[in-house]
Chain A
Amino acid sequence: EAGVVQSPRYKIIEKKQPVAFWCNPISGHNTLYWYRQNLGQGPELLIRYENEEAVDDSQLPKDRFSAERLKGVDSTLKIQPAELGDSAVYLCASSLRDPGGYTFGSGTRLTVV
């Protein structure tokens, strides 16, 4: 069974440019998370989906970040415009409805120059 698939693995963009990340969760996992992880820190939740509904987006900087999960399967996270401080690893994770651990994708390492 394929794990959580993310693309791209790496992205380098200039500030003020838009960028998008894609995530395909494990089949059957209703819950999908987007995290941001800076060096030396734990992952920080950006948004959590239950199927296609965003149930927790309190930490998402909505002025520049947006996300969608059409049809409750794969998801995209967009930043527009990107800022230097957005450089980080963006991780997608999925889980079954009941908590029991989360499976992460390999992440997208974003560098904004």
Chain B
Amino acid sequence: RKEVEQDPGPFNVPEGATVAFNCTYSNSASQSFFWYRQDCRKEPKLLMSVYSSGNEDGRFTAQLNRASQYISLLIRDSKLSDSATYLCVVDSNYQLIWGAGTKLIIKP
């Protein structure tokens, strides 16, 4: 079993819809969690950190479920520009483990 797993997708979603994807992790001692966005042939860019209490940034909501060991990302009112690959990162004592990413395609 991989340490961090994501559904590779692609998720094909109509513009304006809500989409959510999860990321599961195996190390229960993991301490920090992040979502990154990566556009084609570009470097990953931090989208948001994931806090225990959950956090929201505009149309994006991230949540952490420690009991089930997963983090989630919810995108509301999706835009064409949201099309990208979304990578989750799990940090356990500075050991960064990356998921392979979930590809999201927003269609007009």
Residues of A within 8 A of B (CB): 31, 33, 40-45, 48, 55-56, 91, 99-107
Contacts and interface: CB of A to CB of B under 8 A. Distances in A.
Contacts of A43: 44, 87, 98
Given A40-B8, A42-B87, A103 B46 contact: yes
Given A100-B49, A103-B46, A104-B44, 8 more contacts: A40-B100, A42-B98, A42-B99, A43-B87, A91-B44, A99-B91, A101-B34, A102-B34
Q: For chain B, what secondary structure do more than half of its interface residues adopt (helix, strand, loop), or is it mixed? A: strand
Nearest to B92: A99
Contacts, number: 44
Nearest to A4: B43
A107 B49 contact: no
Interface residues of B, number: 20
B59 interface: no
Contact of B96 (A41, A45, A105): A45
